[in-house]
A = this chain, B = another copy of it.
Amino acid sequence: MRLAIVGAGAVGTAVAELAGEYGHTVTGLADSSSGVVDGDGIDVDAALERKRSEGAVGANAPDDVLHGPYEVLVEATPTTLGNAEPGFGHVRTALDRDRHAVLANKGPVAERYGDVRALEEKSAGDLLFEATVGGAIPVLSTIADVGAGNVSAVRGVLNGTANFVLSRMAAEGLSYEHVLAEAQDLGVAEADPSFDVEGTDAALKCVIVANVLAEDDREFTLADAEVSGIRDLQASALDLATEAGQTIRLIGEVSGGDVRVGPRLVPEHGTLAVGGTRNIVQLETAHAGRLNISGRGAGGPETASAVLADVGRLGE
């Protein structure tokens, strides 16, 4: 398939680099201010090198990529809230052109699910977004396999940064501020970590799952989620938990029409107590009991592999 990739951050770059290995051709790549288009396939290495040296992937405008030749648009611009622009507009352009859209950007499916589904309904193209929930972990495809109507609850650890902080606080008895600074040094936490440590990122993923489980009966947005983060968590709370054979994790849960994210006590050696930046998702199913899936929830190549799994599904 011919892929046009919008967004040249860690995920967009990894999709561009790996696409050939999966048998696809990258016919367009755009960052926020420039683009490169070639119906026969762009030179990915040259475009990324040009971005490093000149700050632009090519001589085209980003819009040329959106309107260029492709079967699948990969939307990998940063997640934005509210109207979810410019990601939403990119998806609309692709679907209006009867092309497929594969999202790594959570905004359009978390904040405007009804709108993107309505666009898909009118389009010959399909919309897939496995990469928006749990990075490399196949959460949405497993829900599709089991059948959304057969999944009664989804819960798990959906933010690697918050999990790293909690794991380290518990293991070393260190304060939140100390571990956060360490995580920022390691590149695990961003300079402004609020999206991760306040629970927003995990909540967006839960909202997307809630939308998928609701099967168009009801639409969820971030405003429907009850969210608390880990910023105010004291090291002493983790010590108390450890004494009782428990630990604390930032758990997101979708169940009975409710979306909740917050610090929860979980058994210290239990399934939900994954360590470091790992994510885990538990599905409660009608006929198959509980399924647990864990792995890397973020990272360029990891998230790109979920994007490329979606692209593969479109080709079936």
User: Which residues of A pack against B, CB within 8 Å?
Assistant: 14, 18, 22, 135-138, 141-142, 144-147, 150, 269, 271, 285, 287-296, 299, 301-302, 304-306, 308-309, 312-313, 316
Contacts and interface: CB of A to CB of B under 8 A. Distances in A.
A87 to B, nearest CB: 23
A293 B296 contact: no
A289 B293 contact: no
Contact of A269 (B14, B142, B269, B301): B269
A289 B309 contact: no
Contacts of A290: 295-296
Contacts of A306: 288
| Copies of this chain held together in the complex | 2
Most chain B beta-carbon contacts within 10 A, residue among A144, A291, A308 = A291
10 contacts: A22-B147, A137-B291, A138-B138, A144-B312, A145-B313, A147-B308, A150-B305, A269-B269, A288-B296, A288-B305
A290 B294 CA distance: 8
A132 to B, nearest CB: 15
Contact of A295 (B269, B289, B316): B289
A18 B149 CA distance: 13
B288 A291 contact: no
B293 A136 contact: no
Contacts of A150: 305
Contact of A136 (B136, B289, B299, B305): B289
A285 B296 CA distance: 11
Nearest to A18: B287
Given A292-B293, A293-B291, A296-B288, A309 B136 contact: no
B293 A305 contact: no
A272 to B, nearest CB: 12
Contacts of A138: 138, 141-142, 145, 291
A134 to B, nearest CB: 10
